[in-house]
Amino acid sequence: MENEAKFRVRMKFSRLGPAKNLTHLEQINELRKLAAAAGLPYAPVKCGREKAPKMSFGPAISVGYESACEYADLYLTQYVPETAIEEKIHSVPCILAITGIKRIPLFFPAIEASVNAVEYEMRFENGGVPDAVEVERFLISGRIMYEKTKHSGIKEIINARETVISMKVCMAAPNAPVLNLCLKIEPKKNIKPEIILQLLTGGRVNAANIMRKELYWTDSSGKLNKLL
Model-level pTM?
0.92
CATH class belonging to 115-226: alpha beta
Boundaries of every domain in the chain:
7-111, 115-226
In this structure, of 15-19, 123-127, 197-201, the range with the lowest mean pLDDT score is: 123-127
27/87 Cα distance (integer angstroms): 21
pLDDT digits over 133-162, tens only?
A: 999 999 999 999 999 988 888 899 999 999
7-111 and 115-226 in the same fold: yes
**Euclidean distance between CA atoms 28 and 8, whole angstroms:** 17
Q: What is the pLDDT of residues 161-180, one digit of tens each?
A: 999 999 999 988 778 899 99
CA angle at residue 69 from 68 to 70, to 5 degrees?
Answer: 115
Topology, domain 7-111: Alpha-Beta Plaits (3.30.70)
Q: Is residue 48 very low, low, confident or very high in pLDDT (cuts 50, 70, 90)?
A: low
